[in-house]
Amino acid sequence: MPKNDSQNKWEQFTDDNLPPHEEEQIDNAGLPPQDKKTPEEITLLENELDQAKLLVQSKQNDYLRVMAEMDNLRRLTQREVEQAHKFGIEKFARELLPVVDSLEKSLEHATDANLKQGVQMTLDLLLAALRKHHVTVVDPMGKPFDPSQHEAVSTIPSAEHPHNTVIQVLQKAYLLNDRLVRPALVVVSSAN
């Protein structure tokens, strides 16, 4: 079978068939020949290489620093979003608590049974809505005084109660996801 023209054309460029001047150019593992460098030129090139390495190292450090800052920013943003979801209704809940207090006072002083039943149902609905959003009531009656959750309005000497015990609650405390929304206003016992 006869060879076609394209095969013949490429066969002429094998290593055995190269012209002499092209053979001289392909030495040193297939690289073109290089001019001989003087020691000054070699020192200059080595200095340029060292500067380039330092620049690369500096840029690598900058890159790692930026990546660390981005990771910290991502974590901070994620934490802030979680906090916003968890405590986003704190201000709203704080504004509803006086309504709860008013309904409880109305229950204490109501004389009509129908009115009392209606107020109780309204209060129950409001408290259920607050619980649904993780707002819980803390009734400190009979417990030791805790300054992180209670505000002492006054102290009363009492032989019946241990020292520093809550003996009267004027206003209940409320928590939102274990964070204090409003402290309890209390009267505390004192030793005789």
- 44 shares its domain with 104: no
16 belongs to a structural domain: no
This prediction has a pTM of: 0.60
State how many domains the chain has: 2
| C-beta separation of 173 from 136 below 8 A | no
Residues 98 and 174 in one domain: yes
Regarding whether 70 and 147 lie in a shared domain, the answer is: no
CATH number of 149's domain: 2.30.22.10
User: Residue 61: which domain range?
Assistant: 39-82
Q: Is residue 22 part of a domain?
A: no
Q: Is 167 helix (H, G, I), strand (E, B) or coil?
A: strand
Sign of CA dihedral 54, 60, 62, 65: negative
Report if residue 26 sits inside a domain. no
By the 10 Å C-beta count (0-12 exposed, 13-18 middle, 19+ buried), 13 is classed as exposed
Domain co-membership, 59 together with 115: no
Please report, in tens digits, the pLDDT of each residue of the chain (192 residues total).
455 555 555 555 555 555 555 445 545 556 556 678 888 988 999 999 999 999 999 999 999 999 999 999 999 999 999 888 888 889 999 999 999 999 999 999 888 999 999 999 999 999 999 999 999 999 899 899 999 999 999 999 988 888 889 999 999 999 999 899 999 999 999 876
Is the same domain home to 69 and 159?
Answer: no
